[in-house]
Every structure is written in structure tokens, then in C-alpha cells.
Chains A and B, each alone.
Chain A
Amino acid sequence: MNDAVTIDRAAAAAAAAKPIAILPLTLTINGEARELKVEPWTTLLDLLRDKLDLTGTKKGCDHGQCGACTVLIDGRRINSCLKLAVTLDGVEITTIEGMGQPGELHPLQTAFIEHDAFQCGYCTPGQICSAQGLINEGHAKNRQDVREQMSGNLCRCGAYTNIADAVLNVMEKQA
């Protein structure tokens, strides 16, 4: 990779002229097994939103800086914008659509409403998936830990203190 800083035009043209490879992929998404076909450059985020109509997962920066695209892979939170879908063959993915349903909200969804933990709501699906990941990890013991361990999710409305309250509330109930 180190020396591959340049690419000659002929090689680039050859790349563009290549037939598009479509690769098979098996994922379990929100409990449902899916047999899919993807181009190798499709990110998990784009697969979810554009191909599977799971638009609860949001595209904020698309560069791993904002956390809006956070989903759970085998229970661990990651930025779905920085994962090529094809690399995830066989894993289990949970998105906000798999967390709760209208009328049957996930405890974190209820807590976010109760604590007024959002304004515009765009970052909220990522915040909630991240909070579930934080709880699964089990490293947060207090409010300061929650603030630090939720730092990968930006909220431009600035609802941080209420988000911390909501996450702490669910964490304490589950403890």
C-alpha cells in the first residue's frame, strides 16, 4: 500500500472498463436471514439504506466521524459507513428497525423520549444503537464513563446531557 500512492491512467481506465463483479453475501438482519448480491465497493450503510430500504440508519458524514450510521454487528457497535458489506458474510446485524417497533418500543427508545434526548432526531438511531453497544460492552460504570463512551456519536442539536441521562437510566435498570 505504501508505494501505491499513484495510479497510472491506463490502470485506472482498465479498472473502469472492468465488468462489475457481483458477489454473494449472506447476512442476518434484524433476525431475518437474507441472501444478497453486492458490488464489492458497497458499504454496509449503502446496502441497508439503498438496497434494503432500511433507512432508519442515517448517513451523516459518511467518513466515520459522526456516528449516525452506527449499527450492531454480532452485538458490537460499528460505523456502517466504513464497512464494505461483502466483508461481513455470515454476520448478524441489528439496526434501529430491529431494536423496537411502534407500540413496542425498546427501553432505550422509551428512555430517549422520557428524557427529551433529541431535537431533530437525525442522530438518534445511531445514538440508540451505540447506547445498546455500550451496555453490551459493560465498561461504563457512571455518568462520566457514559459521556466518554458515547463520544463517537455527535448530536448537532446538543442534547448530550439528556442522552447521557437516558442511557444511564436504562443502564441502571438493567444492572
Chain B
Amino acid sequence: MIRFDYARPGDVAEAVCDGAGDHVAYLAGGTNLIDLMKENVARPLEVVDINRLPLAQITDRDDGGLRLGALTTNADTAYDERVQARYPLLASAILAGASPQLRNAATNGGNLNQRTRCYYFYDVDTPCNKRVPGQGCGAIGGVNRIHAILGASDQCIATHPSDMCVALAALDAQVHVTGPEGDRTIAFADYHRLPGDEPWRDNTLKRGELVTAIDLPAEEFSTHYTYLKLRDRLSYAFALVSVAVAMRLEGDRIADVRIALGGVAHKPWRRTEAEEAIKNERPSDTAFDTAARALLAGAVGQGDNSFKIGLAHKAIVRALNQAAAGTPQSQTDKRIR
């Protein structure tokens, strides 16, 4: 870890002031940033400790939705009674990730801004376009079991590691940010980005911007949902493939459905055409196979990760069946039914 200056602002305006400039990092729970600093992947010259800012509340919104503070911990979010009752998909996704210790420290804003766990990004002795623009990509043609099958570029095949964000994508969350140019709101689908030719940019935040809250719209997805996560060990491991489904049935027809994938791309992966294709249909393996095909169209394996295409297809069909049946995946009993 290199030496850095430390600031502890008391309010958001002061934090944004401290956060302006080059080589500055906002520090919240620290579960990813401190690790990256130890590895010399992140080398901020100034660390702005935002933990004292008043952004740790979960509040009801007038429209029936919920506002999650950026500094509310992942654990406090997942176990909040309102989240459990109204957004069980989000609670389930959070509890599928990391460990209790990490969830007690990690914050909602930090979860959005965590970096990829690509081995080459983490190893400063190997090339990585995300770490050093123009250096090359070690994963393309290298060891790439955990890498992207969708939306990758010839410069970067990293995946976004979050479980929480996959649920937030399915729930059409809104991200509130503030910065040197004022406040703005970003639709969740526009928050993270694909690598393209700027793989060092994980998201669409501008320099110095700070996440302050995440809004969940009022929706009726508390019965027909699931978060299905497939990984190399049953706990405390990142997803190879995960599927978040939020569904609403009217009679025996699918009135609304959202499907988001984790572990397969540089951002949570949604395609509205896959969702539109099965609206007004009756739940069936045939319909769900259609949705899976649409979601995975154009998927490309890199060798080690090519198995993910078939795995994702089966996981999507299974997750849609779980959601339709109202039998969400348990995050304690990991057997997949």
C-alpha cells in the first residue's frame, strides 16, 4: 500500500469537495478498496473516508418504493423487514454473496462500485487494460474460466462480480449520485457499462461523483421471484452464472417478467426482448427456452469459460420455473429444485 492523505468529511458537500481532483478514492466499507490498495492495484494519493456521512438509512418513499442509503451495510439491507417483505429478490441476492463478516462491513454504494475479480486485474505483474490502459489483456488467450461470455470486447473480458447488482438490475433500481456538477439520477441499466475500448471505466460515474442512495420502485415481485447462483463451492464464492428473476402472474399468464444475469458480462445482463418474448405466455419450458435463447444470443466462449453458455441456458430455464412456481432458491439449503 502506498502512502496517502486521509480526510474524514462530516457532510456530503464537504465530501464532494474533498473528492474532487486526481487520484482520490472514496472509502466506505473498504472490503474491496483496501484489498486493492494492498495489492497495489488501487493507488489513491488521497482517501476520503465517507463513513461519517448521514447516508445509512433505509426510508419509505411516498410512491410505495424504498430508498436504500449508500452507506447502509449489505447485511442491514438484506435483513431489513421492508426489504425482506417487499423485495425478497434483493435480500436473497445479497445473502448469496460474500460472507457475514464482509456483508457487515460492505455498503450498498460500495457494492455497486466494487471492481472485477479477474485474476489478471489483481496481479500487477500481468498485463491488464482495465488497470493500465493499452497494456493488453492477460485473460484473452489466458486462464479465463470466470470471464465474460456476453458483451465483452477485444480489450477486456472481465465480469462484474456483484450479486446484489443483478437483483437491482431486475428491479429497475435508480441510483442517486452527487458530485461537483450537482445531483443526478441514473437508471440502473445505465449505471454499469460494457468494456468497449475503455475497459478501465466500470460505470458511468463522472470524476468526483459519489453515490448517495439507491431507489427501489414499488413493484409486486414478492411472490414470483428467485435468485439462482451457480458457483464452484456452495458458499462464499463468486458466481460462475447467476440469474435473478422477478415475475408477476395474472391468472395463468406471465403479466410481467424481468431477467438479469450475473457472472457473464461486464455488467448485470438484461435484454428486454427476452422478457417481451414470454409476456402473456403461460409458464412452460418451451417459453423459458425461448427467453434463454434471446438472452444468450451472440454469447461467445473464450475456451475455459465456454461451459458457461450451456450452464447459463439451463440456469435461466430453471430460475424462470422457480419464479413461476413461487419456490425461490434457498440461500441456505443450496439444493437446486
Q: Which residues of A contact B (CB under 8 A)?
A: 1-7, 11-12, 14-16, 18, 20-21, 23, 40-41, 43, 62-64, 67, 70, 76-79, 81-84, 86-87, 130, 133-134, 137, 139, 144-145, 148-149, 151-153
Contact = CB atoms under 8 A, between A and B. Distances in A.
Given A6-B133, A12-B43, A84 B30 contact: yes
Given A15-B45, A62-B38, A149-B100, A2 B203 contact: yes
Nearest to B22: A4
A79 B332 contact: no
A87 B133 contact: no
A14 B131 CA distance: 21
A83 B105 contact: yes
Given A41-B1, A151-B236, A5 B35 contact: no
Nearest to B206: A2
| Residue of A1, A21, A134 with most chain B CB atoms under a 10 A cut-off | A1
A83 B34 contact: yes
B331 A5 contact: no
A11 B22 CA distance: 10
A152 B100 contact: yes
B67 to A, nearest CB: 23
Interface string B111-132: 0010000000000000000111
Interface of B: 1-6, 8, 22-27, 30-31, 33-35, 37-38, 42-45, 47, 49, 51, 75, 79, 98-102, 104-105, 113, 130-133, 200-203, 205, 207, 235-236, 331-333
Nearest to A137: B100
A171 B293 CA distance: 47
Nearest first, the 3 A-B pairs at minimum CB distance are: A152-B99, A151-B235, A40-B6
A63 B200 contact: no
A43 B101 contact: no
A43 B34 contact: yes
Nearest to A142: B332
Contacts of B99: 67, 151-153
Nearest to A152: B99
A79 B38 CA distance: 15
B235 A15 contact: no
Given A7-B43, A67-B99, A77-B104, A82 B34 contact: yes
Given A40-B47, A84-B30, A152-B102, A2 B22 contact: no
A1 B43 contact: no
Contact of B31 (A3, A20, A82): A82
Contacts of A4: 22-25, 42-44
Contact of B27 (A2, A87, A133, A137): A87
